[in-house]
Amino acid sequence: MSAVIEFDNVSKRFLLQHERHTTIRERLFGVFRPRTPRDEFWALRNVSFTVARGESFGLIGHNGAGKSTALKLMTRILEPTSGQVRLRGRVAALLELGSGFHPELSGRDNVFLYGSLMGLSRREMAARLDAIVAFAGMEDFLDLPVKHYSSGMYTRLAFAVATAVDPDILITDEVLAVGDEAFQRKCMDRILRFRHAGKTIIFVSHALDTVRTLCDRAVWLDRGVVRAIGASGEVIDAYLADVNQREHASSAQMDAPGIDPTRRFGSGEVEIIGVELLDAQGGGGAIARTGAPVTFRIRYRAHQTVPQPVFGLAIHHESGTLLAGPNTLFAGLDIPAVRGEGRVDMHVAALPLLAGRYLLSAAVYDKTMLFPYDHHDRIYHFAVHNEGGSERFGACVLGSRWSWHEE
Ligand SMILES: Nc1ncnc2c1ncn2[C@@H]1O[C@H](COP(=O)(O)OP(=O)(O)OP(=O)(O)O)[C@@H](O)[C@H]1O
Ligand SMILES: [Mg+2]
């Protein structure tokens, strides 16, 4: 196994020159103030890893963890403050927006410029131009200076060019985040073809499912230091467990931050005074687990005797899709009348929701379900975690069983 990329105890320090504010008094009286000392910031500290030829390698971590900095060290846009970065092979890199192309030049000129930087002749590039333009889908904009491109157009052209020059190593930083759905698929298809062709791929993304699928190995950077390195699935699970733990620590309650009046309506004879999510142990919180038992509890207060109320819940995916809208009437629970305070529980034996964020509505209506006493529209938030769960695409588990038959 030969290493094509090697980070050997690499650290990168940035010097930050803060803006110095001059007060009016200073300006009027010419008061002298010493220059602010330069602050230093270590974006990477003692980072070591190697990437073998033909490997797909992911970098994950929070915003500001140092992922883009690591890529810039690989491509020699930056030099390490200490340590060594070694790289073998021809690299095509798709870094953050804005690096790579010359803003005043047209798309066409940039294609040729990029080719020449990669050691391809004008003839060789001309032969690839049609395919590049077709892939990027930008026939009409080729002669426009790229500074007028939208971020999507810019990324499309950059991706098309970088992957057309036949590099040994492809480095991409969040490229898939910019394009539309169709282009993302085209890019992924091309990246996968690179992978099959035995090229080395360095992939930075916050789309952890994609990293898991695409990358053999990954490194998790946390504020500039390596927290974990190894098989991508294991590194991602360790990262998610850490994210989940922090989320747990910061959310003990299902929050309904000062109920927005536009999201609440009803005549008020019965009022919903709280909604809770309880796990099997009766513990509260705003986090549930895929496949685990959970109870949704609606607390109410009836200001008078109200016959035959119907209590209901609605669960929306954060994307806005309504996933479920169960209620006591559909479930056949007869509540003859309510007065004073009480609670209505909905038990779910095995939560079929996958990891993600969800919005919850709670409501109480009259028996015809036409007149709301109190309706809280998507006021409550909760998250679902799925540590170690086998399913991960989409929003719900079908509880299905697969079988295979050869004929
Ligand atoms: N040229 C620079 N001068 C000063 N600080 C910088 C410079 N470039 C990056 N940094 C700092 O280094 C840290 C790491 O930045 P980097 O862009 O590598 O993070 P990242 O992991 O790519 O984050 P994101 O997920 O948001 O893209 C950040 O705190 C950033 O502010
Ligand atoms: Mg970045």
Distance 62 CA to ligand 1 centre (A): 11
Which residues fall inside 5 Å of ion ligand 2, going by CB?
Answer: 68
Predicted pLDDT at 321: 87
> What region, left, alpha or beta, does residue 130 occupy, with left being phi > 0 and alpha being psi -120 to 50 degrees?
alpha
Query: In Å, how far are 280, 346, 348, 369 from 293, measured between CA atoms?
Result: 6, 11, 6, 28
| Number of the ligand 1 atom closest to the C-alpha atom of 96 | 27
DSSP label at residue 23: P
Query: In Å, how far are 14, 22, 34, 44 from 38, measured between CA atoms?
Result: 10, 17, 12, 18
Is residue 346 within 8 Å of 326, Cβ to Cβ? yes
CB within 8 A of 222, min separation 6: which ones? 61, 62, 65
Every domain of the chain and the residues it spans: 3-248, 261-385
Closest-CA residue to 275 (of 291, 259, 293): 259
41 lines ligand 1 (CB under 6 A): yes
The protein residue with its alpha carbon nearest to ligand 1, atom 28, reads 64
Closest-CA residue to 80 (of 224, 227, 228): 224
Backbone angles phi, psi at 246, to 5 degrees: -70, -35
Q: Give the per-residue SS3 of 269-296.
A: CEEEEEEEEEECCCCCCCEEECCCCEEE
Closest-CA residue to 94 (of 11, 10, 14, 151): 151
The protein residue with its alpha carbon nearest to ligand 1, atom 29, reads 64
Which amino acid is present at 129?
Answer: L
pLDDT digits over 165-197, tens only? 888 999 998 877 777 778 888 888 899 999 999
Residue 50 has pLDDT above 90, yes or no: yes
Distance, CA of 54 to CA of 199 (rounded, Å): 5
> Residue 118's pLDDT band (boundaries 50, 70, 90)?
confident
Could you tell me the fold of the domain covering 3-248?
Rossmann fold (3.40.50)
CB atoms < 10 A from the CB of 210, how many? 16
Which amino acid is present at 345?
Answer: D
Distance, CA of 379 to CA of 260 (rounded, Å): 8
Q: Specify the length of the chain in residues.
A: 407
65 lines ligand 1 (CB under 6 A): yes
Q: Which tokens sit at 110?
A: 């940039």
Predicted pLDDT at 37: 54
Distance 62 CA to ligand 2 centre (A): 9
Residue 36 has pLDDT above 70, yes or no: no
| Number of the ligand 1 atom closest to the C-alpha atom of 65 | 21
pLDDT digits over 190-242, tens only? 999 999 999 999 999 988 888 988 999 999 999 999 999 999 989 998 998 88
Is residue 201 within 8 Å of 170, Cβ to Cβ? yes
363 lines ligand 1 (CB under 6 A): no
Q: Which tokens sit at 203?
A: 């992939």
pLDDT digits over 246-276, tens only? 766 555 455 555 667 778 899 999 999 999 9
Could you tell me the fold of the domain covering 261-385?
Coagulation Factor XIII; Chain A, domain 1 (2.70.50)
3-state secondary structure of 169: strand
